[in-house]
A and B are shown apart, each in its own frame.
Chain A
Amino acid sequence: MNGLPVADRPAIRRAMVDLVGRDRRAVAVMLVLHIAATITGLAAPWLLGTIVDEVGSGAGVGTVDRLAIAIAGCVLAQCLLSRYAQYAGHRFGERAVARLREEFVRRTLALPVSVVERAGTGDLATRSSVDVTTVGVTVREVVPVVVIASAQLVLLFGAVFLLHPMLGLVALTGLPSIYAVTRWYLRRARTAYLAEGAATAELTEALTTTAEGARTVEALRLGEDRVVHGNARIGQVWATRRRTLALRSVFYPVVEGSYALPIAAVLLVGGLFLDNDLVTLGEVVTAALYLQQAIGPLDQILQWMEQAQRGLASFARVLGVGQVPPEPRGRVSVPRGQRLVVRGARFGYADGPEVLHGIDLEVRPGERLAIVGPSGAGKSTLARLLAGIDTPQHGEVSIGGCRVVDLDPAERRRRIALVTQEHHVFIGSVRDNLAFAAPAASDEQMRSALAAVGADWYDDLPDGLDTQLGDGARDLSPADAQQLALARLVLADPDTLILDEATAALDPTTARRAERALGSVLAGRTVIAIAHRLNTAHDADRVAVLADGRVTELGSHDELLRADGAYAALWHSWHG
């Protein structure tokens, strides 16, 4: 199974630069405001240092009052500046997230079907829910904190430099150890946290699936099995959490131990400088307070590191979807006619053996062709080739003289529709569920399409076409959902229909009902039906028997009965 790609580091960096680049002005405003806010924030310790000096030199209460009012003023100014800085950052974050998720959905919609099928929709579903959300949280919550904290750190250390360059240099003790341990940590954290997240999700899944399959658990007495299975997941979660804890057990103490170093160093060196009158006591105190103050932002950055890691990992997965080349637009070629021709088609899935070994088949316009054969004979694969989802490695499939895969996807869909047993009711109104097949369809056309497929449940809907379906609103039964899908086909009005066991997943009565509804859709079209019910074959103009990737029998029902081959044998056993 080929998974979807995950973006590598250079791609992530490019995407980040791009996000900032698209909103350069907002980013600039945000940075300027944050820096201004931080500078006013630095004033408090500096004024405190001044108070220390003034009091030390015997200043009175009046000076203290003035300086105290100045501190209060600075706090208020900082409040205003940081508010607007945050607001600007917030808006930037929102825009960036919106762009990311819209881009993600756009790229997802452009994915070629074969890629989606190979990768499985599970991965894509996780990316669309967990990863997009994680990136959103990271951009909205983590990035602002990290940006502000970084600005504060730079300015705090810068301020110590301003007090005295030597104090500034001394203040940098502690940073090497923090830098080294952070690098060590980040190298390992990403995989460790990804594993932790995956293990946690698996535990949740173990619980939910046990609940979903409760009846089966009871019937087959699988209770003990489920406990063993779940316990293994609990053990897995613990193993992954211990791994991340082990990483933190190195990371946190080194970082926290390093916090005290610059303060101690500044006090020590400050004492020596005081002796030589290079600095005042107030300046040393201010420097110590700045460094004490730096612990806050440093801690914040390090605390958010986990989330930032997660965000980065998710970001890589979100971007990865964009790295799949979108479905090719196809050449602009207009088929002449509707004759569907398969010539010497051979096909095998990427990692498997050849499934079809040279198929030759011609479907006349308006003909009804049934394809029967045992499971694994390659019926569905043939249907996919006919619908242009996969391309044969040898030979070709063409409609009206044009290779099916060369058609523009939109044009192809208009001509050939593939109906499988999968159907999906989209969240939204009945109209939403029909309109995308034929955007120009009127309400009247939609209603008559529903009537054509026998969707009499429509009459009971409270709001007609505006009735909401799915996601806590109304749920359709599988048969109703299948009828909705068929009504969509009536509206889309393709020339050729390929039915791949369209009703196989329904229970017999429901299937019967859906098949009846199909009848009205099929009228006047070329129909290729893959069927496991022989009565479908009986009704077809011709029957093709597929076995081991080859067409072994081809002809009308009566011809095949006369030929007395495998089909005839099956028909007799079926018919008794």
Chain B
Amino acid sequence: MPPQLPHPHPGIPDTRGPLRYIWWLVRCQPWRVLRASLVGTAWMTGLSLRPYLISRAIDDGLRGRDNRALLFWVGAIVVAGIVMAQLGILRHRTMTFIREDATARSAAVLLRQLSRIGAVLPRKLAAGEVATVGGSDIGNTSHVLTMTGPGVGAVVAYSVVAVVLWSISPLLALCVLLGVPVIAVVIGPLLRRLERAETVYRHQQGVLTTRAGDIVAGLRVLAGVGGRDLFARRYATRSQDLLAEGYRVGAVNSWIDALTLAIPGLFLAAVVWVAARMAATGDITIGQLVAVYGYVAVLVVPVWFLLEGSYQMIRGRVAARRIVALLNLTPDHVDGRTAPDDVPGSKPSGVRGRSRPGGVRGRTPGGVRGRSVDDAGGPPGDRPAPTGPAELRDPASGLVVHHGRLVAVAADDPADASALADRLGRFVVSEVIWGGVPLTRIALAEVRGRILVADHDSYLFAGTLREILRVRKGLGDDEFRAALRVASAEDVVDALPEGLGTPIDARARRLSGGQRQRVRLARALLAEPEVLILVDPTSAVDAHTEARIAERIRTARAGRTTIVLATSPLLLGRADTVAHLRDGRIVATGTRAELLDRDPGYRALVSREEEPDPGAETGGFDGSTEFAPVDVEGSLR
């Protein structure tokens, strides 16, 4: 019976270990697995039927010149063939169902885990890891389940052939029953070597593929600056290196391939020799001689199957271990274990203070640890959130944001701005007070629902524009269009062939930087949070549009708290209050005009007539690989 996929409830996986996880996948479909064992057994055992029927046709029909017997046995061969074909497809279908059920279940639990775990994920996992898990580990794990059906069948089939052979001749039975596994064990390592040689080749091939991908990614650069011939030549040189490696692999592999053919062949010759001698002396019949020949061939199937299965098991276990590791990651409760400011190294600037995903591994284990829950003043979630709109206060910088205001924060150092956003949005532990309650002690879900940090590089998922914008229930085209208008992004929709229904790929690579930024802004506005924190919302937008956006945000967010972190004069000009953030502290607050008047540092910052603080600026460009470059496409975090 085909499974109903996707599972409405994939269940709770057993993540105590890779084998337990695989066993959980089995336990989720006990009847199907049981049926697979029965069908698999019937099929494998049935394989030995044909040699038996042929031997009877030869002995009773041909040698005995009995046409009725011949007709009977030949008919039996045809019927057995059809039955075996049916059994075969039944086995294949059942096994496919089992594998697909497992695959869908793994994908579903991983999906739930990845969706649940949140901001902490990139810090705990290398970027490529999830791709490996999704691309191959799920499949490899599911393949282990193939063992459940034909695996049992292989053992039974082996025993059946043993009994039949024993009835012909105990000596032959011993030769074959011991010989076939011995040969499998001899050839197995040879095949492993073949696999290893292939691995080296595949790795090199992967490197070459990366190069081709690199060329494709840089195609526009090459078109702009030239150098195509150089790259073509360089690729060709690498390709020729791989060719040479391929020759080397081929020289070894062709020997292994030939030997894996010859060794069983010689064994078969030996068995035939022994059997033929017995036939010559009359110990067995001619039909039995032919049957022995057939049984050896049949026996290869279950023995190979078991051998293959054991390799699958090894591979599947490694794959399942990675899945389990991912499932065992715990979401960050922002209780102080992974605050970005714990990251050793220089102060990030210009680039968000987040670590590069791959960089986590190189760090000392203690490096990622930070302050404990106690420092935050108690366990999270033990205090009620303010019942209504409330004042937000950040003691670290001295920023105070009154309810319902549009506050702009101009930071000398963008890293300070990001750190402030992280504190206010509770992506890190902080002393932020919200309506008199420490933010860290309010239930996280409550915070997420009411305070939104809209990063300038927040992720855009693949989907139609409508899907991208649907950040909460009950939103329709009218709301979308209104938000797009505020973000001055109507032209983005107009330029798309199917308007709001146009599918857009992940990170919206099809859109320009400015278009992406406006779509992000519209999305953030649609979430309608009580407190909206916008980080550099218009840095890639032209001045005309920026002026429009600044005005419209003000109207759209009237009565609700909005904090804009930016240095653009157009945005700052529309704020109720402007605060100047310098070296992590608010050094001046007032209207834009007041600040221009009072604060020469602010004046320098917004008019860009001179560098406000060269020291802070160079700090981030020390070439430290600890920090992720902000991907122009929208950042991989």
- Contact pick for B456, options A51, A84, A132, A507, CB 8 Å: A507
In the complex the two chains form, what is the Cα distance from A234 to B111 in whole Å?
A: 10
Query: Do B280 and A64 touch (CB < 8 A)?
Result: yes
Known: A234-B6, A271-B70. A426 touches B214 (CB 8 A): yes
Minimum distance in angstroms from B7 CB to a CB of chain A:
8
- Contact pick for B130, options A86, A211, A249, CB 8 Å: A211
Query: Do B225 and A492 touch (CB < 8 A)?
Result: yes
Query: Do A113 and B630 touch (CB < 8 A)?
Result: no
**Hey, which chain B residues are within 8 Å of A109, CB to CB?**
215, 219, 222, 228-229, 231-232
Minimum distance in angstroms from A506 CB to a CB of chain B:
8
Query: Do B569 and A574 touch (CB < 8 A)?
Result: yes
**Hey, which chain B residues are within 8 Å of A235, CB to CB?**
5-6
Query: Do A263 and B54 touch (CB < 8 A)?
Result: yes
Within 8 A of A (CB), among B439-492: 448-449, 452-456, 458-463, 467, 470-472, 488, 491
**Hey, which chain A residues are within 8 Å of B118, CB to CB?**
214-215, 217-218, 223
One digit per residue, 1 when the CB lies within 8 angstroms of any chain B CB and 0 when it does not, for chain A 42-84 equals: 0010001001100110011101110110011001101110111
Known: A94-B250, A421-B632. A427 touches B210 (CB 8 A): yes
Within 8 A of A (CB), among B103-130: 103-104, 107-108, 110-112, 114-122, 125, 127, 130
One digit per residue, 1 when the CB lies within 8 angstroms of any chain A CB and 0 when it does not, for chain B 253-268 equals: 1110111011001101
Query: Do A437 and B225 touch (CB < 8 A)?
Result: yes
In the complex the two chains form, what is the Cα distance from A335 to B497 in whole Å?
A: 39
**Hey, which chain B residues are within 8 Å of A218, CB to CB?**
118-119, 448
- Contact pick for B543, options A203, A470, A532, CB 8 Å: A532
B175 close to A (CB within 8 Å): no
Name which residue of chain B comes closest to A513, CB basis. Answer: B617
Query: Do A87 and B254 touch (CB < 8 A)?
Result: yes
Name which residue of chain A comes closest to B518, CB basis. Answer: A375
Query: Do B452 and A267 touch (CB < 8 A)?
Result: no
Pick the interface stretch among B27-35, B371-379, B396-404, B504-512: B504-512
Name which residue of chain B comes closest to A457, CB basis. Answer: B623
**Hey, which chain A residues are within 8 Å of B356, CB to CB?**
475
**Hey, which chain B residues are within 8 Å of A531, CB to CB?**
542
Known: A207-B110, A477-B350. A48 touches B96 (CB 8 A): no
Number of interface residues of A (CB under 8 A): 189
**Hey, which chain A residues are within 8 Å of B107, CB to CB?**
203, 207, 230, 234, 237
Name which residue of chain A comes closest to B127, CB basis. Answer: A212
Query: Do A75 and B78 touch (CB < 8 A)?
Result: no
Query: Do A59 and B89 touch (CB < 8 A)?
Result: no
**Hey, which chain B residues are within 8 Å of A10, CB to CB?**
none
In the complex the two chains form, what is the Cα distance from A55 to B63 in whole Å?
A: 13
A204 close to B (CB within 8 Å): yes
Within 8 A of B (CB), among A428-451: 432, 435-437, 439
Query: Do A576 and B251 touch (CB < 8 A)?
Result: no
Query: Do A223 and B116 touch (CB < 8 A)?
Result: yes
- Contact pick for A509, options B349, B627, B631, B632, CB 8 Å: B349
**Hey, which chain B residues are within 8 Å of A527, CB to CB?**
none
Minimum distance in angstroms from B339 CB to a CB of chain A:
14
Known: A44-B268, A235-B6. A90 touches B246 (CB 8 A): yes
One digit per residue, 1 when the CB lies within 8 angstroms of any chain B CB and 0 when it does not, for chain A 255-285 equals: 1111111011101101110110000010011
**Hey, which chain A residues are within 8 Å of B205, CB to CB?**
133, 136
Query: Do A203 and B134 touch (CB < 8 A)?
Result: yes
Known: A253-B85, A376-B491. A113 touches B514 (CB 8 A): no
Query: Do B239 and A271 touch (CB < 8 A)?
Result: no
**Hey, which chain A residues are within 8 Å of B96, CB to CB?**
241, 245
B313 close to A (CB within 8 Å): no
Query: Do A259 and B81 touch (CB < 8 A)?
Result: yes
**Hey, which chain B residues are within 8 Å of A48, CB to CB?**
272, 276, 290, 293
A179 close to B (CB within 8 Å): no
A105 close to B (CB within 8 Å): yes
One digit per residue, 1 when the CB lies within 8 angstroms of any chain B CB and 0 when it does not, for chain A 189-207 equals: 0000000000000011111
Known: A208-B131, A274-B65. A508 touches B536 (CB 8 A): yes
In the complex the two chains form, what is the Cα distance from A60 to B277 in whole Å?
A: 8
A422 close to B (CB within 8 Å): yes
In the complex the two chains form, what is the Cα distance from A75 to B611 in whole Å?
A: 83
Name which residue of chain B comes closest to A511, CB basis. Answer: B539
A106 close to B (CB within 8 Å): yes
A17 close to B (CB within 8 Å): no
In the complex the two chains form, what is the Cα distance from A532 to B570 in whole Å?
A: 12
Query: Do B546 and A213 touch (CB < 8 A)?
Result: no
**Hey, which chain B residues are within 8 Å of A573, CB to CB?**
547, 570, 573
Query: Do B258 and A122 touch (CB < 8 A)?
Result: no
- Contact pick for A267, options B54, B226, B570, CB 8 Å: B54
Query: Do A576 and B62 touch (CB < 8 A)?
Result: no
**Hey, which chain A residues are within 8 Å of B330, CB to CB?**
none
Known: A75-B265, A214-B119, A509-B617. A253 touches B88 (CB 8 A): yes
In the complex the two chains form, what is the Cα distance from A117 to B115 in whole Å?
A: 33
In the complex the two chains form, what is the Cα distance from A256 to B50 in whole Å?
A: 13
- Contact pick for B632, options A83, A422, A475, CB 8 Å: A422
Name which residue of chain A comes closest to B627, CB basis. Answer: A477
Minimum distance in angstroms from B450 CB to a CB of chain A:
11
Minimum distance in angstroms from B474 CB to a CB of chain A:
14
**Hey, which chain B residues are within 8 Å of A60, CB to CB?**
280
**Hey, which chain B residues are within 8 Å of A216, CB to CB?**
455, 458-459, 461
One digit per residue, 1 when the CB lies within 8 angstroms of any chain A CB and 0 when it does not, for chain B 498-538 equals: 00000001100110111100100001100100000000100
B1 close to A (CB within 8 Å): no
Query: Do A373 and B280 touch (CB < 8 A)?
Result: no
Query: Do A64 and B277 touch (CB < 8 A)?
Result: yes
B227 close to A (CB within 8 Å): yes
Known: A48-B272, A267-B54, A271-B62. A210 touches B114 (CB 8 A): yes
Known: A72-B266, A113-B220, A576-B569. A570 touches B543 (CB 8 A): yes
Minimum distance in angstroms from A515 CB to a CB of chain B:
9
One digit per residue, 1 when the CB lies within 8 angstroms of any chain A CB and 0 when it does not, for chain B 75-95 equals: 101101110111011001100
B567 close to A (CB within 8 Å): yes
Name which residue of chain A comes closest to B6, CB basis. Answer: A234
Minimum distance in angstroms from A202 CB to a CB of chain B:
9
One digit per residue, 1 when the CB lies within 8 angstroms of any chain B CB and 0 when it does not, for chain A 114-149 equals: 001100111011001100110010001000000000
In the complex the two chains form, what is the Cα distance from A492 to B226 in whole Å?
A: 9
Query: Do A215 and B80 touch (CB < 8 A)?
Result: no
Name which residue of chain A comes closest to B97, CB basis. Answer: A245
19 contacts between A and B (CB under 8 A): A48-B276, A64-B277, A72-B270, A79-B262, A109-B232, A124-B216, A132-B212, A207-B110, A211-B127, A217-B115, A219-B455, A223-B116, A227-B115, A252-B92, A256-B89, A268-B74, A436-B231, A439-B227, A492-B225
